[in-house]
């Protein structure tokens, strides 16, 4: 089991790199767009649609990672109470299972929307990028998020040693 976890940990760098590149491109593109527009009156026409796509990529690439590393915005006011009652671990298990499980429906729905866009042959205005590709990407991200949340919840509860960080 452990080597698999190691492998997954290594692999989790990939989406982070993808998201970082998307963000860097977004930054440079916006910068160049302003410069080109004001100095040479030649804006990047596809900037708007590329911005949309890059945003979806950067947000959804890292969603599975923040979902399993306590990256979501939450209120920790009752942490002390749960700790005193020794219920923190049970609570975390339930939260992971519930959150992962409830993603089933959005996954299904976003998938349907993507397939519909594919049937209609929707493409973006300037670059004619098929929009269903973005839909697929979001579906994939949500599905991965659901699976890893459930897996993380279960492993943390029943076999925390597998997930413990290797000594540096």
User: Interface with other proteins by CB under 8 A: which residues?
Assistant: 16-17, 19-20, 23-24, 26-31, 33-34, 38, 48, 51-56, 58-63, 65-66, 71-79, 82, 91, 95, 98-99, 102, 105-106, 108-110, 112-113, 134-135, 138, 142
- Residues sharing a CB contact under 8 Å with residue 135, sequence separation 6 or more, in sequence order: 110, 111, 113, 114, 115, 117, 118
Q: Which runs of consecutive H residues, i.e. helices, occur in the chain?
A: 2-11, 13-40, 47-61, 63-68, 79-84, 88-102, 104-120, 132-158, 160-163
Checking 101-108 for CB contacts under 8 A at 24+ apart, the result is 101/146, 101/150, 103/142, 103/143, 103/145, 103/146, 103/149, 104/146, 106/142, 107/139, 107/142, 107/143, 107/146
C-beta closer to other proteins: residue 59 or 151:
59
Residue 112 or 159 having the CB closest to other proteins: 112
CB nearer to other proteins: pick between 105 and 162:
105
Residue number with CB closer to other proteins (2 or 69):
69
What SS3 state is found at 166?
A: coil
In angstroms, the CA 132 to CA 91 distance is 37
Q: Of the two residues 33 and 148, which places its CB atom closer to other proteins in the complex?
A: 33
């Amino acid at each position: 089991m452990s080597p698999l976890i190691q492998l997954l940990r290594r692999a989790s760098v990939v989406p982070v790199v993808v998201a970082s590149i998307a963000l860097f491109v977004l930054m440079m593109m916006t910068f160049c767009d302003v410069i080109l527009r004001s100095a040479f009156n030649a804006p990047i026409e596809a900037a708007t649609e590329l911005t949309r796509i890059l945003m979806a990529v950067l947000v959804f690439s890292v969603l599975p990672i923040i979902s399993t590393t306590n990256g979501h915005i939450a209120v920790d006011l009752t942490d002390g109470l749960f700790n005193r009652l020794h219920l923190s671990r049970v609570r975390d298990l339930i939260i992971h299972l519930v959150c992962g499980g409830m993603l089933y429906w959005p996954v299904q729905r976003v998938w349907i929307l993507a397939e519909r866009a594919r049937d209609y042959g929707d493409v973006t205005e300037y670059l004619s990028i098929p929009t269903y590709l973005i839909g697929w990407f979001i579906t994939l991200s949500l599905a991965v998020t659901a699976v890893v949340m459930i897996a993380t919840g279960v492993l943390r509860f029943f076999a925390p040693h597998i997930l413990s960080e290797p000594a540096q």
